Structure 1
Amino acid sequence: MRPTIPYVIAACLIGLGVYGVLARRNAILVLMAVELLLNGVNLVLVTADVTVRAVVPHGGQVFALFVIVLAAAEIGVGLAVVLQLYRLRSSVAVDEVPLSEEEEEVKA
């Protein structure tokens, strides 16, 4: 198997994920970009497992399974945070989130 095509696709997924995290203002879209990043990493892990037989058999696939579990937990917690942010601010824009109590006192 030629690993070039899966690695290029994984690089594109990771690049799109990084762009989405850095350029988006909506928290839901940022979470989707993080999912793209994790899917790119999964593709790299599985491709490396298939092309390079390491000491641990199917190690890349096992790590990819752990990344999928981590992504599911991240989405659960992330959506809970976004829903609470929407209830408090009626907006899910990342730019409008106060990072300290001083910023909130100045606006009030």
Structure 2
Amino acid sequence: MVPLWWNIVLGVALFVIGAGGVLLRRNILVVLMSLELLLNSVNINFIAFGHYYADSRGQIFAIFVIAITAAEVAVALGILVALVRNTSTLRADDVTLLKG
């Protein structure tokens, strides 16, 4: 049996790594992967607390987050493909397409 605090520490570590990737990196794909780390760290905590309290709501929330994340990735990758075709760059600083 894995103690609850191990899962919390793992979730916090993944959240810190993901937040660092979102805040420090310039490549849009790396930022997208870091967002996935953030959401997966939240899923780990949902499932850990759901298991600890013998409640299935944590698993249900995690499934909803996974479904929303899959839709977000599909839309984001479609936007990135269109962006690369128009500007041929993935650096967030170089993208000025929406500026007026």
TM-score normalized by structure 2? 0.93
- The alpha carbon displacement at 1:100 in A equals 1.5
Following the alignment from structure 1 to structure 2, what is the Cα–Cα distance between the partners of residues 22 and 77? 21
Amino acid in structure 1 at the alignment position of 2:5: T
Amino acid at match of 2:77: L
Q: Deviations over 1:28-75 (max 9, x none)?
A: 11110000001100000001101124xxx4000000000000110111
Amino acid of the residue matched to residue 27 of structure 1? I
Matched residue SS, 1:68: helix
Which has the higher Rg, Structure 1 or Structure 2?
1
The list of structure 1 runs, each at least 4 consecutive aligned residues, that deviate by more than 6 angstroms after superposition, is none
Q: How many positions carry a matched residue from both structures?
A: 98
The unaligned stretches of length 5 or more in structure 2 are none
Q: Report the counterpart of residue 74 of structure 1 in structure 2.
A: 72
1:12-91 matches, within 5 Å, as: 12-53=13-54, 57-91=55-89
The code of the aligned residue for 1:59 comes to: R
Q: In structure 2, what is the Cα distance between the partners aligned to 1:24 and 1:84?
A: 21
Is the partner of 1:95 in helix, strand or coil?
Answer: coil
Partner of 1:106: none
Alignment partner, residue 91 of structure 2: 93
- Which residue of structure 2 aligns with residue 105 of structure 1? none
Opposite residue 12 of structure 2, the aligned amino acid is: A
Q: TM-score, normalised by structure 1?
A: 0.86
Quick one: percent identity of the two aligned structures?
39
Aligned alpha-carbon RMSD (Å): 1.1
Q: Which runs of 5+ in 1 are unaligned?
A: 102-108
